[in-house]
A and B are shown apart, each in its own frame.
Chain A
Amino acid sequence: MQIVKVEGSLQCTARIEGLKHVALRVLQTESGSRLVATDPVGAEPGNWVFVTSGSAARYTAGDFEILTDLAVCGIIDHWPDKE
């Protein structure tokens, strides 16, 4: 599972039913590239979170029907610990 930073939430009204009404967050990986994940936890912009990818991401929101391949699993309390 990857550690990423939450950049902000993403508004997307035109979406397929498979996405239901889950919150979408824009995430920034340490390499700087941007990703989008579903967020059952409710992370704020600026939080460091860890995400799970692939079909495992579909189990995080309780039912298997959510069509996602990346989902936030939890907010990290202290990160990065280098400081």
Chain B
Amino acid sequence: MKICQIIRPLVSTNRIAMMEHKLLQVVQDGSAQAVAVDAVGAKPGDWVICVGSSAAREAAGSKGYPSDLTIVGIIDKWPPESDEA
């Protein structure tokens, strides 16, 4: 799973029907930007965890949902400034 930061929601009214009305977010993963389905309701600026492969489809809704990147959790504190052991 990757650690990404939410940039902003992605608006795409003309999309395939299988995507239904799920919220899509633009996420920043290091230098690359990607689109992830939001299953937890994060807001811009949040640090989140994104999952890929078959887990992304089930996290987004059903086994057949066409997603390869889904947000599954919002990190409590990131980056961990105090580098305690």
Query: Contact check: which of B1, B54, B77 meets A55 at CB < 8 Å?
Result: B54
* Residues of chain B lying within 8 A (CB to CB) of residue A24: 1, 49, 73
Q: How far is the CB of A28 from chain B (nearest CB, A)?
A: 12
Number of interface residues of A (CB under 8 A): 28
Q: In the complex the two chains form, is B40's CB within 8 Å of A16's CB?
A: yes
Q: How far is the CB of A22 from chain B (nearest CB, A)?
A: 11
Q: In the complex the two chains form, is B59's CB within 8 Å of A12's CB?
A: no
Does A8 sit at the interface, judged by CB under 8 A?
yes
**Complex: chain A residue closest to B30, CB-CB:** A33
Q: In the complex the two chains form, is A58's CB within 8 Å of B54's CB?
A: yes
Interface residue SS majority, chain B? mixed
Bound-complex Cα distance A34 to B78 (A)? 13
Among A10, A26, A70, the one with the most B-chain Cβ atoms within 10 Å of its Cβ is A10
Where the two chains meet, the residues of B that have a C-beta atom closer than 8 Å to any C-beta of A are 1-3, 30, 39-40, 49, 51-56, 58-59, 72-77, 80, 85
Q: What are 19 A-B pairs at a CB distance below 8 A?
A: A10-B49, A12-B49, A13-B76, A14-B40, A15-B40, A15-B72, A16-B59, A18-B55, A18-B59, A26-B3, A37-B1, A45-B85, A54-B53, A57-B55, A67-B51, A67-B59, A69-B1, A69-B51, A69-B54
